């Protein structure tokens, strides 16, 4: 009844720490088969440990995401568990996380990673566990609490999500981006407090609090995430990226000025508007496209000229549901589509929208008259 587990450990030039992690995995009381895979990220000397499968990639910078993918590709277990090369799982870790994945193959299970001599968790994570009841009340912002240093999921779901983004080079960010895509693919987030792993050194932020080095490293991470994670928490307002968060599919509305007014309203947020033909007003705007939607997280299909009135209400109400209005207008998230969630009846006004059912005088719209 206990599935095979593959433990993937990325490693770079820290053989003594790696030996400790491997020993801690071997000391687990897990009843099923446990396979240990070390994914070396270009060490000067590739490690060799009895009974451990080692896969290696060239040193092309800090590529933990690519290393984890390399290890996962070599894995044979039904369950994947990731530990950093300096993070030691305590007894019972595997026993604690695997039942969640047996119950739901889309479960993404995070352990408690204790750091430093005082074996403490960063306060922002401890607060997150309390606020979300250990992620049982997770929402579309909870990808920020997914940490790859002590993480488990099914091999099938890992492949379905596409693994980690191997284009990440440098410290941090790849676990949050993976959590983001997993949530949109229908993941159930779980924090399992009984699954404890220990990082003997202090956390990065605790080692470099409020310093130029911390700012430099964290800014690189933030900018990398902004290009990949479309959620408003990850991006500054008003900046145009290659990918957008919202796709709005609009028709040719009969009311004069309505289409232009509708498009202008949606461009106040991170949206692409798809129309049969681009109105002249937006001929130079790359956010207005004649064609079909791409892979935006939220998809809005307008049957009537619904303009965005209140962005805060829209994001709060539209998140992770499939809404259908009486006129057939639909709002659905990627997560709702992945889970084939049943639609709920809604009214446009409750989604922060306003219906432009009369001719629109554009000069009044532009000048605010």
Residues 215-263 have pLDDT tens digits of 998 999 999 999 999 999 999 999 999 999 999 999 999 999 999 999 9
Q: What is the mean pLDDT of residues 344-355?
A: 95
Predicted confidence at residue 254, as pLDDT, reads: 93
Domains of the chain, earliest start first: 5-229 (3.90.550.10), 246-367 (no CATH)
- Euclidean distance between CA atoms 315 and 140, whole angstroms: 10
Predicted confidence at residue 103, as pLDDT, reads: 97
- Euclidean distance between CA atoms 52 and 41, whole angstroms: 16
213 versus 356: which is more confidently predicted?
356
Predicted confidence at residue 191, as pLDDT, reads: 98
Q: What is the mean pLDDT of residues 260-287?
A: 97
Q: What is the mean pLDDT of residues 276-282?
A: 96
Burial 255-289 (b: 16+ CB within 10 A, else e): eebbbbbbbbbbbebbbbbbbeebeeebeeeeebb
- Euclidean distance between CA atoms 102 and 125, whole angstroms: 25
170 versus 239: which is more confidently predicted?
239
Query: Which of the 8 DSSP states describes residue 282?
Result: G
The model's pLDDT over 93-147, given as tens digits with 9 standing for 90+, comes to: 999 999 999 999 999 999 999 999 999 999 999 999 999 999 999 999 999 999 9
Tokens of 167: 């284009």
Q: 170: pLDDT confidence band, cut at 50, 70 and 90?
A: confident
Q: What is the mean pLDDT of residues 275-281?
A: 96
Tokens of 23: 């020993």
Helix (H, G, I), strand (E, B) or coil at 74: helix
The model's pLDDT over 36-52, given as tens digits with 9 standing for 90+, comes to: 999 999 999 999 999 99
Question: How many percent of the chain have pLDDT more than 70?
Answer: 99
- Which residues, 6 or more positions from 207, have their beta carbon under 8 angstroms from its beta carbon? 201
Whether 61 has a pLDDT exceeding 70, the answer reads yes
- Euclidean distance between CA atoms 186 and 338, whole angstroms: 6
Predicted confidence at residue 205, as pLDDT, reads: 61
- Euclidean distance between CA atoms 30 and 96, whole angstroms: 9
Closest CA to 156 of 220, 222, 108: 108
Predicted confidence at residue 171, as pLDDT, reads: 83
The answer to whether the beta carbons of residues 258 and 305 sit under 8 Å apart is yes
Whether 31 has a pLDDT exceeding 70, the answer reads yes
Predicted confidence at residue 214, as pLDDT, reads: 86
Please state, rounded to an integer, the average pLDDT across all residues of the chain. 95
Predicted confidence at residue 175, as pLDDT, reads: 96
Closest CA to 259 of 294, 288, 295: 288
Helix, strand, coil tally for the chain in percent (to 5): 35, 25, 45
Predicted confidence at residue 204, as pLDDT, reads: 64
Predicted confidence at residue 207, as pLDDT, reads: 58
């Amino acid at each position: 009844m206990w599935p095979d587990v593959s433990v993937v450990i990325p490693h770079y030039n820290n053989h003594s720490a790696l030996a400790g992690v491997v020993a801690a995995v071997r000391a687990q009381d897990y009843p099923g088969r446990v396979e240990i895979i070390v994914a070396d990220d270009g060490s000067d000397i590739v490690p060799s440990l009895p009974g451990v499968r080692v896969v290696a990639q060239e040193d092309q910078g800090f590529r933990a995401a690519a290393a984890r993918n390399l290890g996962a590709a070599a894995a044979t277990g039904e369950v994947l568990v990731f530990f950093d090369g300096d993070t030691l799982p305590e007894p019972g870790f595997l026993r604690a996380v695997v039942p969640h994945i047996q119950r739901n193959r889309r479960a993404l299970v995070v352990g408690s990673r204790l750091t430093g001599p005082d074996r403490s968790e960063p306060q922002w994570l401890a607060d997150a566990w309390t606020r979300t009841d250990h992620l049982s009340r997770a929402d579309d912002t909870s990808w920020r609490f997914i940490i790859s240093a002590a993480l488990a999921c099914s091999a099938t779901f890992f492949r379905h999500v596409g693994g980690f983004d191997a284009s990440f080079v440098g410290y941090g960010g790849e676990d949050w981006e993976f959590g983001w895509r997993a949530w949109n693919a229908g993941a159930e987030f779980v924090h399992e407090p009984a699954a404890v792993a220990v990082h003997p050194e202090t956390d990065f932020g605790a080692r470099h609090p409020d310093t130029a080095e911390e700012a430099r490293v964290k800014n690189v991470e933030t900018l990398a995430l902004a290009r990949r994670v479309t959620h408003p928490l990850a991006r500054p307002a008003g900046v145009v990226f290659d990918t957008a968060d919202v796709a709005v599919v609009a028709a040719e509305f009969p009311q004069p000025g309505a289409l232009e007014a509708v498009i202008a309203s949606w461009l106040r947020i991170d949206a692409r508007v798809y129309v049969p033909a681009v109105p002249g007003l937006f001929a130079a705007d790359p956010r207005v496209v004649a064609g079909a939607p791409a892979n935006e997280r939220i998809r809005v299909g307008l049957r009537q000229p619904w303009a965005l009135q209140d962005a805060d209400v829209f994001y709060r109400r539209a998140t992770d549901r499939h809404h259908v209005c009486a006129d057939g207008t639909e709002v659905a998230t990627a997560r709702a589509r992945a889970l084939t969630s049943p639609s709920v009846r809604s009214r446009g006004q409750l989604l922060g929208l306003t219906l432009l059912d009369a001719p629109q005088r554009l000069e009044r719209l532009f000048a605010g008259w």
